[in-house]
Chains A and B, each alone.
Chain A
């Protein structure tokens, strides 16, 4: 069983919560790069976007 990895956008935007939610589990935790299949740079961009979204209460904090 292999899970389908979502197609990564050219740039992760903190306002695009629908896209960001695809990379979060039900607890709101970010998936690992191994699971997302993103490059190191994309994973960093994703991490930053998720953190900005959390600051603005667009996404929940994990837990």
Chain B
């Protein structure tokens, strides 16, 4: 890592629950102070939008997007990322190196909006539904598996039975012969007893 200063475009995904509880401005200030603490110069930091996520992230279905343009070193960015990963309302972030800050963005600066103006919709409980689906899938699998096994176990004796039946004439012949011998012996013994 070198100490060269770069311009970064940054996007932060804020947890809607925390934005609702503490207000958008508090969350924006937290991001700003975190970046500045690690030596970055925040040029622009504004609300990009509150929108649904294309896929659920840790049970969240929606997020508040914060767009920023900052100036800093590689180390600044990596340290800020590390802190945001461990603490605070930011659950995902991305920093991209850019050549310059667009004039339209520079005009916006650090946007101040009333907390009431930031409409944060309720998150649907994605985690519960996901777990329910998984549990249902698992239960259906476990139900299906014994049946399959049962079919196998049922099928196996039939096969064996068939085999036994197929082999039966040979075995029965010998067994009948063996069985006939004791019967003959039994029939002979009473005679001896009587005698």
Contacts and interface: CB of A to CB of B under 8 A. Distances in A.
Interface of A: 15, 52, 54-61
A56 B55 contact: no
B92 A56 contact: yes
A18 B15 CA distance: 24
Interface in B53-104: 53-55, 57, 63, 65, 67, 92, 94, 96
B85 to A, nearest CB: 14
By size class, the interface of chain B is 10 to 19
Interface of B: 11, 13, 48, 53-55, 57, 63, 65, 67, 92, 94, 96
Contact of B11 (A54, A56, A59, A61): A56
Contacts, number: 25
Contact of A57 (B48, B54, B67): B54
Contacts of A55: 92, 94
Contact of B94 (A56, A59, A61): A56
Nearest to A48: B96
Nearest to B51: A58
Contact of A54 (B54, B63, B67): B54
14 contacts: A15-B11, A52-B94, A55-B94, A56-B11, A56-B13, A56-B65, A56-B92, A56-B94, A57-B13, A57-B53, A57-B55, A57-B92, A59-B54, A61-B55
